[in-house]
Amino acid sequence: AQSVTQPDIHITVSEGASLELRCNYSYGATPYLFWYVQSPGQGLQLLLKYFSGDTLVQGIKGFEAEFKRSQSSFNLRKPSVHWSDAAEYFCAVGPTGGGNKLTFGTGTQLKVEL
Amino acid sequence: EAGVTQFPSHSVIEKGQTVTLRCDPISGHDNLYWYRRVMGKEIKFLLHFVKESKQDESGMPNNRFLAERTGGTYSTLKVQPAELEDSGVYFCASSRQGHLLEKLFFGSGTQLSVL
């Protein structure tokens, strides 16, 4: 069965600092990989996704993520965090065989200090 | 384009009562999904509709949960009778096609508290 681990429940960074949120997955093959963000009172919004090809993917709001097959990881990064990035971030995997059933991690709550 | 709409946004009920959650997907989206997040845990898949048919209901916890999508438009998720462990945030999502290559649009969720 596939699973996703987000080891950091809470992270606090200063505005302007760099950010890296960790995500490790367990899956029989290379899955489809996603990062979603949920801001207070909002629905989950897709930041970026990896299906194949270039292992460094660019997303919205200046985020990027790198797929590392050898480490089964898909860490999310941003070079300079803005106060508006404070939110909860979810890593998710999906089967490559079809369907749209996502398996999510437990989420990482990001706090940004001004 | 209007997004996925869920209501109520919050519901507080007592154990043993019945609650019905509603989801209005984006117009034209045949695929509708329900997910749930119990506090502090991961967001878990509940079920998937294609139009009015249940494509995959493998994530439904037990027979106290009943999901419907009459006419292939909006969907309801009824919990009867509610138990304490049903508390959490219930998310609905929709997409035009049922493949991960297709973007999934999520609603803002219904926060259910069972006391």
Q: What is the pLDDT along chain A (114 residues), one digit of tens a residue?
A: 789 999 999 999 999 999 999 999 998 777 899 999 999 888 999 999 999 889 999 999 999 999 999 999 999 999 999 999 999 999 999 887 767 789 999 999 999 999
Q: A45 and chain B: CB distance < 8 Å anywhere?
A: yes
Residues of B whose CB is below 8 A from A101: 33, 45, 48, 56, 59
H or E, element range at B106: strand B105-106
Query: Two tokens at A85?
Result: 């990035």
pLDDT reading at B94 higher than 90: yes
Q: Provide φ and ψ at B15, rounded to 5°.
A: -50, 135
Q: Provide φ and ψ at B33, rounded to 5°.
A: -130, 150
pLDDT reading at B1 higher than 70: no
Q: List the one residue out of B51, B60, B57 whose CA is nearest residue B97.
A: B51
Nearest CA in chain A to B104: A46
With a pLDDT cut of 70, the percent of chain B lying above it is 99
- Number of CB atoms found within 10 A of residue A82's CB: 12
Q: What is the pLDDT of residue A98?
A: 65
Size of interface A-B (CB pairs under 8 A): 63
H or E, element range at B5: strand B5-7
Task: Kindly report the nearest CA distance between residue A1 and chain B, in angstroms.
Answer: 13
- Number of CB atoms found within 10 A of residue B32's CB: 28
Query: Two tokens at A10?
Result: 């809470």
For chain B, give the mean pLDDT. Answer: 94
* Chain A interface test: which of B50, B100, B106, B110 (most A C-beta within 10 Å): B100
SS3 B86: helix
Is the separation of the CB atoms in B47 and B34 below 8 Å? Answer: yes
Cβ-proximal residues to B96 (8 Å cutoff; 6+ apart), any chain: B28, B29, B30, B31, B102
Q: B46 and chain A: CB distance < 8 Å anywhere?
A: no
Query: Two tokens at A89?
Result: 């971030």
The DSSP output letter for A52 is S
Q: What is the pLDDT of residue B60?
A: 96
Q: What is the pLDDT of residues B32-74, one digit of tens each?
A: 999 999 988 999 999 999 999 999 999 999 999 999 998 889 9
Q: Provide φ and ψ at A60, rounded to 5°.
A: -80, 165
With a pLDDT cut of 90, the percent of chain B lying above it is 87
DSSP A57-84: EE-GGG-EEEEEGGGTEEEEEESS--GG
Q: A101 and chain B: CB distance < 8 Å anywhere?
A: yes
Q: What is the pLDDT of residue A95?
A: 81
Q: What is the pLDDT of residue A24?
A: 97
Q: What is the pLDDT of residue B15?
A: 97
Task: Kindly report the nearest CA distance between residue A76 and chain B, in angstroms.
Answer: 18
- A104·B42 Cβ contact <8 A: yes
Instruction: Over range B8-20, report the average pLDDT.
Output: 97
Q: A26 and chain B: CB distance < 8 Å anywhere?
A: no
